[in-house]
Amino acid sequence: MSAGFYIKLYLAALAAFLVIDMAWLGVVARAFYRQQLGALMSPSVNWAAAILFYLLFIAGLLAFVVVPSLKVGALHQALLAGAFFGLVTYATYDLTNLATLRNWPWAMTVVDMLWGMVLSSAVTWISFQVGRWMLS
């Protein structure tokens, strides 16, 4: 696997993540987040923080899930590891907020952690397929 392979795989994973997560945040769960977080929500997005999260998350997903799974050719391994990676990473955020912030909602914690699993699994599946296609 060359540097070009990793760059293309990264860009494909990032694109998939952005499209899926923007659909979730902007359309599907928008009202839910407003209802759950209310006054905690910022009136504007801190784009530097959001972009840094996306860039780091994709790097971790590829390094710890997709590339190792591609090396052994195991899609089932990739999907399980992707779901677990999403659970752990989103739980880090949500459970820390639940532990440290007054009135952080339980419903938000549960839904967001489940979303982390679904999103990571979907991006893992897409990235694995793209990687397998590029390797063939």
Each residue's pLDDT tens digit, 59-99: 999 999 999 999 999 999 999 999 999 999 999 999 999 99
pTM of the model as a whole:
0.92
pLDDT given for residue 112 in this prediction: 95
pLDDT given for residue 61 in this prediction: 98
**Which candidate, 50, 70, 51, places its Cα nearest to that of 8?**
70
Q: Which residues of 59-73 are buried (b: 16+ CB within 10 A; e: fewer)?
A: eebbebbbbebbeee
Where are the chain's structural domains?
Answer: 3-135
Per-residue pLDDT averaged across 13-25, rounded?
A: 95
The two structure tokens encoding residue 67: 């590339």
